[in-house]
């Protein structure tokens, strides 16, 4: 077999497959290599499976609350974990299979299954095969970090991947890590019926958000019955028969938490250590992120890095946007850059947190004259009607340029509402455009213009 290609893509995450298909459609001979499951993290162990679980957890929660809405649920609400898992596996599996057959059915595109490793700047080995190409795109993503906590080697623990294999309900799930992954899983399993404790080293959850956001997120989780332990230094793990123990040196609370299952949600490690980067001369930092410029080119001409492994994003939409940037630059003769995108992401607890642009803290230190609008969800009609009035929204505006600087929408629909703000930011339109827009009643979005009419200096 002729192993000479125009393009090699390593990894089938959220940018590689789309780039492979675009390149193949442009008439290039493409090889794409996947060592595990097609679709990578998002499809198999990230966004898709967790958001199906979020949906099941929401259904359970609303079933418990049914009487509040005048709906009778005869008998106790019971969660069938096997059916929850089967639903998740079906949705995730369809996406994975669809991607695999799309790639395998694409003309000019050859799919290799195995671990890829650079042999030189233009050569990649997969098992016995040595593939060559002048253009190589790295989309290898990451995996859960297993931190070097004392006792970790001898204490059974779960990661975001292995927790998704469970089809039983943990009696008590102890989660180390109060970031996005820890919080989403925490609320999911609490709503399924587990006791849940979240342990975090910092003095607050999701510490890079504004303090009022962290505080309200913690309150939302605690109202669901989740125990939160902050300022947890000196975390030590122990196996205690069938149980797991986590000793924590917190400023408040018992010095040890004992549970039936332990989830380590303490960050991500990039899949770059076993890629042979040194043989290609590709530079990376000491955390394993491949170094790239604003067009996602590495230091080696002809090699690009996309997705989580380049350290410029960390989300599915940033990885997909990486594909769009690279494809535009190489195929569409446009100049697109990662600098043009505005930070945006959601935290999928219920109610969700939608975020874009600066936090209030960042705005305060930006040296600008900043105006802020705020509204509790108790003053949003739609939220009250739905019986989902936890949280608040806030928006930040530059007084002089009138540009919107950022927003946090923590409340029902916040994951969707954030986009109307994001698009005005992309348009670089003054906030007054949105303030004067007629939004639809009754929605959460209809209060954004109102909030923009009530701006106050920070």
Ligand X SMILES: Cc1cc2nc3c(=O)[nH]c(=O)nc-3n(C[C@H](O)[C@H](O)[C@H](O)COP(=O)(O)OP(=O)(O)OC[C@H]3O[C@@H](n4cnc5c(N)ncnc54)[C@H](O)[C@@H]3O)c2cc1C
Residues 172 and 261 sit within 8 Å (Cβ to Cβ)? yes
What part of residues 330-349 is at the interface with ligand X (CB under 6 A)? 348
Q: Establish if 33 lies at the interface with ligand X (CB under 6 A).
A: yes
Residues recorded for the chain: 458
Span between the terminal Cα atoms of the chain, in Å: 66
Q: How far is the CB of 419 from ligand X (least distance, A)?
A: 14
Catalytic residue among 208, 261, 317, 441: 441
Q: Establish if 160 lies at the interface with ligand X (CB under 6 A).
A: yes
**Candidate ranges 40-48, 199-207, 279-287, 447-455; the one touching ligand X (CB under 6 A):** 40-48
Q: Establish if 87 lies at the interface with ligand X (CB under 6 A).
A: no
The C-alpha atoms of residue 397 and residue 423 are separated, in whole angstroms, by 14
Residues 449 and 440 sit within 8 Å (Cβ to Cβ)? no
Q: How far is the CB of 454 from ligand X (least distance, A)?
A: 31
Nearer to ligand X, 262 or 452 (CB): 262
Q: Which residue pairs from 376-381 have beta carbons closer than 8 angstroms and sit at least 24 positions apart in sequence? A: 377/351, 377/410, 377/411, 377/412, 377/444, 379/447, 380/411, 380/444, 380/447, 381/441, 381/442
Bridge-based pairing of strands 109-113 and 30-34 is: parallel
Residues 194 and 171 sit within 8 Å (Cβ to Cβ)? yes
Nearer to ligand X, 182 or 259 (CB): 182
Q: How far is the CB of 431 from ligand X (least distance, A)?
A: 26
Q: Establish if 317 lies at the interface with ligand X (CB under 6 A).
A: yes
Let me know if 441 is a catalytic residue: yes
The residue from 5, 7, 8, 12 that contacts ligand X (CB under 6 A) is 12
The C-alpha atoms of residue 39 and residue 395 are separated, in whole angstroms, by 35
Nearer to ligand X, 272 or 412 (CB): 272
Q: Which residue is nearest to ligand X (CB)?
A: 141
Q: Establish if 65 lies at the interface with ligand X (CB under 6 A).
A: no
Q: Establish if 431 lies at the interface with ligand X (CB under 6 A).
A: no
- Structure letter (DSSP) for residue 297: B
Q: Is residue 227 helix, strand or coil?
A: strand
Q: Establish if 289 lies at the interface with ligand X (CB under 6 A).
A: no
Nearer to ligand X, 132 or 231 (CB): 132
User: Binding marks (x or -) toward ligand X, 170..189, rule CB under 6 A?
Assistant: -----------x--------
The C-alpha atoms of residue 341 and residue 248 are separated, in whole angstroms, by 40
**Candidate ranges 5-13, 214-222, 235-243, 251-259; the one touching ligand X (CB under 6 A):** 5-13
Q: Establish if 40 lies at the interface with ligand X (CB under 6 A).
A: yes
**Token reading at 248:** 């924590």
Nearer to ligand X, 184 or 398 (CB): 184
The residue from 9, 47, 131, 410 that contacts ligand X (CB under 6 A) is 47
Measured CA to CA in angstroms, residue 391 lies from 235, 250, 383 at distances of 31, 27, 10
Q: Establish if 141 lies at the interface with ligand X (CB under 6 A).
A: yes
Measured at the CA of 206, the angle between CA 381 and CA 391, to 5 degrees, comes to: 10
Nearer to ligand X, 179 or 411 (CB): 179
DSSP 357-421: E--HHHHHTTTS-EEEEEEEGGG-HHHHHHT----EEEEEEETTT-BEEEEEEESTTHHHHHHHH
Q: How far is the CB of 12 from ligand X (least distance, A)?
A: 5
- Structure letter (DSSP) for residue 100: H
Q: Establish if 46 lies at the interface with ligand X (CB under 6 A).
A: yes
**Token reading at 158:** 């779960």
The residue from 17, 186, 245, 307 that contacts ligand X (CB under 6 A) is 307
Q: How far is the CB of 290 from ligand X (least distance, A)?
A: 11
**Candidate ranges 30-38, 99-107, 357-365, 450-458; the one touching ligand X (CB under 6 A):** 30-38
Residues labelled catalytic: 441
Which residues of the shown chain bind ligand X in the complex (CB under 6 A)? 10-15, 33-36, 40-42, 45-47, 50-51, 115-116, 139-142, 160, 181, 271, 275, 307-309, 314-317, 319, 348
């Amino acid at each position: 077999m002729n192993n000479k290609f125009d393009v090699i893509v390593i990894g089938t995450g959220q940018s590689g497959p789309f780039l492979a298909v675009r390149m193949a459609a442009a008439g290039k001979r493409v090889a794409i290599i996947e060592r595990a499951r097609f679709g990578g993290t998002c499809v198999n162990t990230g966004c898709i499976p967790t958001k199906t679980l979020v949906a099941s957890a929401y259904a359970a929660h609303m079933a418990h609350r049914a009487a509040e809405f005048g709906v009778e649920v005869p008998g106790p609400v019971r969660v069938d974990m096997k059916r929850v898992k089967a639903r998740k596996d079906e949705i995730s599996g369809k996406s994975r299979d669809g991607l695999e057959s799309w790639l395998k059915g694409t003309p000019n595109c050859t799919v290799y299954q195995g671990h890829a490793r650079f042999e030189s700047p233009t050569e990649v080995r997969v098992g016995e095969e040595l593939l060559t190409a002048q253009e190589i795109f790295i989309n290898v993503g990451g995996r859960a970090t297993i931190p070097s906590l004392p006792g970790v080697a001898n204490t059974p623990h779960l990661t975001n991947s292995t927790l998704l294999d469970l089809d039983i309900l943990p009696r008590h799930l102890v989660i180390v890590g109060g970031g996005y992954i820890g919080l989403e899983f925490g609320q999911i399993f609490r709503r399924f019926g587990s006791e849940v404790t979240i342990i975090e080293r910092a003095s607050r959850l999701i510490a890079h958000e504004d303090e009022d956001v962290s505080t309200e997120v913690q309150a939302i989780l605690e109202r669901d019955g989740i125990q939160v332990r902050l300022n947890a230094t000196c975390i030590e793990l122990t196996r205690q028969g069938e149980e797991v123990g986590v000793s924590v040196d917190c400023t408040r609370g018992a010095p040890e938490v004992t549970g039936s299952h332990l989830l380590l949600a303490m960050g991500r490690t990039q899949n770059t250590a076993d890629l042979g980067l040194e043989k290609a001369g590709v530079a990376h930092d000491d955390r394993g992120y491949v170094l790239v410029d604003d067009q996602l080119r590495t230091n080696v001409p002809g090699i690009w890095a996309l997705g989580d492994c380049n350290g410029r994003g960390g989300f599915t939409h940033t990885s997909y946007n990486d594909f769009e940037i690279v494809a535009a630059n190489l195929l569409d003769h446009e100049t697109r850059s990662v600098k043009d995108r505005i930070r945006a992401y959601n935290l999928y607890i219920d109610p969700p947190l939608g975020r874009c642009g600066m936090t209030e803290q960042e705005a305060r230190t930006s040296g600008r004259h900043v105006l802020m609008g705020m509204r509790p969800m108790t003053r949003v009609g739609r939220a009250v009607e739905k019986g989902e009035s936890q949280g608040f929204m806030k928006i930040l505006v530059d007084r002089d340029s009138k540009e919107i600087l950022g927003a946090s929408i923590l409340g029902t629909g916040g994951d969707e509402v954030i986009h109307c703000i994001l698009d005005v930011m992309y348009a670089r339109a003054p906030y007054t455009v949105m303030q004067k827009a007629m939004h639809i009643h009754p929605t959460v979005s209809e209060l954004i213009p109102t909030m923009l009419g009530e701006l106050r200096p920070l």
